[in-house]
Structure 1
Amino acid sequence: MHLQYLLPVALAAVAAAQNRTLAQAIAGQSSLTTFQSLLSAQPDLVRALSNASSITILAPSNDAFSKFLSTTDGKAASAQPDVVAAVLQYHVLNAEVPGSAFTTTPQFVPSLLTNSTYANVTGGQVVEGVLNGKTVEIYSGLKLKSTVTTADITFQGGVMHIIDNVLTIPPSDAVTAVDSQLTSLAGALTKANLVTAVDDLKDVTIFAPSNDAFKQIGGTAESLSTQQLTTILEYHVIKGTVGYSTLLIGGLANETLPSLSGAGLNILIEDNKVFVDSAQVTMADIIVANGVMHVIGNVLNPDNTSATPNPTATTQSVAFAGATSAANAPFTSGINPTTTAPAAGITSKAAAARQTGAIGAAALFGGAAMIAVNL
């Protein structure tokens, strides 16, 4: 058959795909029966999606929900439909992002999750999308990864991608610190009575020292007064700006930003590395309930705001003159992770492979009859 005959047929097929409803698009995918049942049990979300345009749905497959339901988190919240609603809202992006729009530069796309119980960021909680080779990867809370397995299922209101893991609603700052093996930070926040104060802030950027960073000043850190520790920790928090990596490298590069302590933090880009004062960002973009967290290799010193990095060095000098190190990470007594997330530089294959899905989502998925979704 000649091209002139094939082209109208192809265009007609594209038009038909774009004119189908979301319900028809979902029903046409045999791997989305669980997602269909879940969605049909959320009439408010169904109504919202029926009127939505230019959206992207990240639809977990049946296997993704099965994996999630095998976890403790999935089973524990089986009677919480409000959590299920939040999880589903987090899977709907407030922008139309076809597969071709993802690049090697991360994108942070806001979702429909605006419920302040779960998200305290302006415009809705985000997901991170990035192209890795030919694969689109989606990162959610605790830096957990979902992969797009089927892209560009079009419908009247936008586009849908099937993903292989349920997204994780980003936990609070303190929970994220604990489960990302940033236990010194979590313990220090607890000692300084700052857990609630920091968790309750809106639109934050947190520069989170690793446990090794705290070890470098561990001999001195334990003797700090509560006020001294509070001031130091507040210097690691920017309030009112969610500085994802793309913003740090772009609009905030070589800028000084006010920290929660009042002292200014200097954002520097040197040799394609991101530094805050003299501390290098070693892992970027751990999404938290109220913003974003970046892991850094040194503890920042509000009394040494002029500290600058040596970009060619493997490690940076501590910012506290005369500080002594410790063999063990300080402030970690009684701080126990509830899970192990592939964040904070975890490199073990077991940790990196842990992609269990949305924390705390209800296990309402098993045994539900498939119900038509009227969108």
Structure 2
Amino acid sequence: MRSQSWRHLAVYAAALAFAVAGTNAQTGSLTDLGTLLSGQKNLTTFYGLIQVLRYVSSPFSRHPELIELRQILAPNNDAFKKIPYTELNKAFSDNDQDVITNVLEYHLLQGSRTAAELIPGDSVFIPTLLTNKAYSNVSGGQRVQNVKQSGDVVVFVSGLGNRCTLTQADLKFTGGVVQVIDSLLIPPSNLTETFDSFNLTAFEGALYQTKKLESFATAANSTIFVPNNDGFQLLGPAIANMTVEALGSVLDYHLLPGQVLYSTDLKNGTKLPTQNGGNITVLHSGNNLYVNSAAIVQADILCANGVIHVIDNVLNPLGPGAQPNPAIAEQGAVFASASEYSTLPFTTAIPCTTSCPVTSSSVASGSGVTGGAGTKATSAAGSKSSSVKTSSSKAVAAAMARETGFHAAGLMVALGGAVMMIG
């Protein structure tokens, strides 16, 4: 299978599917999933691909929940043409069935909510059949964000903030609906890839410095409030000069373990327990959402083990009663002696893994990164050559070997089983 192009096999399988669909139509059978997909000329690549992967494994040994399948997000033919410009390029170029199967499972949704039932402005976080812990550390299936915008535009948001638009809604088959989308969904990535993608490098560096990256990355069902780089830079020595223990306590105050709370779950006045042992308080003011006195500036970033909300300030566990001033755009720091740094703290703790300067010391020391950018190697999401395996730094490999995220771990899951329903 690996010696042949996935695209060529998909086209061949799609041609066979059209012949079968014609026979089904002549016999007057009900519109099953296969007949529906093969009858859509703009879905030939998607249908051909899942036909190729149908032989991966038995349908019900891995996914008995397929009986409950109600909704499929089907990328149209044009969506597959965009692959070279996405994080999926390497996996599809290498015909990596492990990763491709994982990606397609992320397009199979649980639940029966149709596009017509969406309320403009309200986000819905829909569980998928991506449940294997090699790729997802979220109970009940990794989520896709679905929101209806003004003008009746329906958008799906997946990993690394990738967005796709609904182009054809609610195509009904026996047992569910197909939604046609204009791009492939990208499963949520591990923490380091997500931090890098959203330029949250100060928080990432602080996790390396305190050796907490592994515990954050492997904490299942997590909600993480991540201060943006500006929030760290405003504190300067007030946080950069902390002991490792004190800094670790501050970081733990940003993690809610064991509960995935999307923005729709953050209710006004709610007190939430943190890994630190203290509580944070959620506050609403108009359209603004705060955690203690920090404003959430970007909500609902999906990651492999839960969700990230970006905030504009570092939370202080010694000042849990801090209140925001909604009348001002930027909230003040809640640490004593805070003063703005000219450089971004902690980013030098991020090990360098690519284009590293040649030094006499090992990169594993974490001193390979210079400057405030905090750059490091990040792999294409969904590629076997993830940062776990391509890193030249033993420190990175050790820190991330158990990081659940987008890496190939010998997964041969039952998307093929899913399409056994087609025939």
Q: Same fold (TM over 0.5)?
A: yes
CA drift of 1:110 comes to 0.5
**Cα distance in 1 for residues equivalent to 2:257 and 2:406:** 26
Determine if contact 1:20/1:156 at 8 Å carries over to the other structure.
Answer: yes
**Distance apart, 1:268 and its partner CA:** 1.1
CA-CA distance at 1:340 after TM superposition = 11
> Alignment partner for residue 375 of structure 2, among 332, 336, 339?
336
1:321 to 2:336 alignment: yes
For structure 2, list consecutive stretches of 5 or more residues without a partner in the other structure. Answer: 1-27, 349-368, 382-404, 409-418
Counterpart-to-counterpart distance in 2, 1:208 and 1:18: 53
**Greater RCO, CA 8 A, separation 6+:** 1
Match of 1:111 in 2: 128
Distance 1:70-1:206 versus aligned 2 partners, 3 A rule: closer
Aligned to 2:129, the other structure's residue is in SS state coil
Larger mean CA deviation between 304-313 and 50-59 belongs to 50-59
Taking a change above 3 Å as real, the CA distance of residues 50 and 178 of structure 1, as seen in their structure-2 partners, is: closer
Equivalent residue for 2:413? Answer: none
Q: 1:360 to 1:75 in 2, by over 3 A?
A: farther
Matching of residue 155 in structure 1 with residue 166 in structure 2: no
Partner of 2:97: 81
User: 1:42 touches 1:85 (CA, 8 Å); kept in 2?
Assistant: no
Quote the residue 1:22 is aligned against.
Answer: 33
Question: SS at the partner of 1:42?
Answer: helix
User: For 2:65 and 2:44, how far apart are their aligned partners in 1?
Assistant: 19
2:312 to 269, 272, 297: 297
Partner Cα distance (1:65, 1:229) in 2: 45
SS in structure 2 at match of 1:56: strand
Specify the SS of the correspondent of 1:20: coil
Equivalent residues in 2 for 1:55-204, closer than 5 Å: 55-71=70-86, 73-76=88-91, 78-103=94-119, 104-133=121-150, 134-204=152-222
Q: Which residue type is aligned with residue 42 of structure 1?
A: R
**Distance of aligned partners of 1:31 and 1:119 in 2 relative to their CA distance in 1, 3 Å threshold:** same
Moved over 3 A (4+): 42-51, 69-73, 337-341, 358-361, 371-375
In the alignment, structure 1 residue 263 sits paired with structure 2 residue 263? no
* Distance in 2 separating the partners of 1:24 and 1:374: 8
- Whether the 8 Å CA contact 2:74–2:179 is kept in 1: the answer is yes
Which runs of 5 or more residues in structure 1 are unaligned? 1-16, 342-357, 362-370
CA offset at residue 173 of structure 1?
2.1
Rounded to whole Å, the distance in 1 between the matches of 2:175 and 2:88 is 32
Residue in 2 aligned with 1:229? 247
Q: Which amino acid aligns with 1:119?
A: S
| Deviation readout 1:118-153 (Å, 9 max, x if unpaired) | 111111111000011211000011111010111111
- Matching residue of 2:54: 42
Q: Secondary structure at the match of 1:214?
A: helix
Q: CA deviation at 1:18?
A: 11
* Correspondence 1:211-290 to 2 at 5 A: 211-248=229-266, 252-290=267-305
How large is the RMSD of aligned CA atoms in angstroms? Answer: 2.7
Instruction: Please say if residues 114 and 125 of structure 1, whose CA atoms lie closer than 8 Å, have aligned partners that are also in contact.
Output: yes
Q: Secondary structure at the match of 1:52?
A: helix
Give the superposition deviation at 1:45.
Answer: 7.7
Tell me which amino acid in the other structure corresponds to 1:24: T
Cα distance between partner residues in 2 of 1:37 and 1:373: 15
Q: Deviations over 1:140-188 (max 9, x none)?
A: 1111101011111110120001111111110112221121111111111
Shift of 1:242: 0.7
SS in 1 for 2:250: helix
What amino acid maps onto 1:35 in structure 2?
F
- Quick one: distance in 2 between partners of 1:121 and 1:26? 30
- Residue identity (%): 36
- TM-score if structure 1 supplies the norm length? 0.82
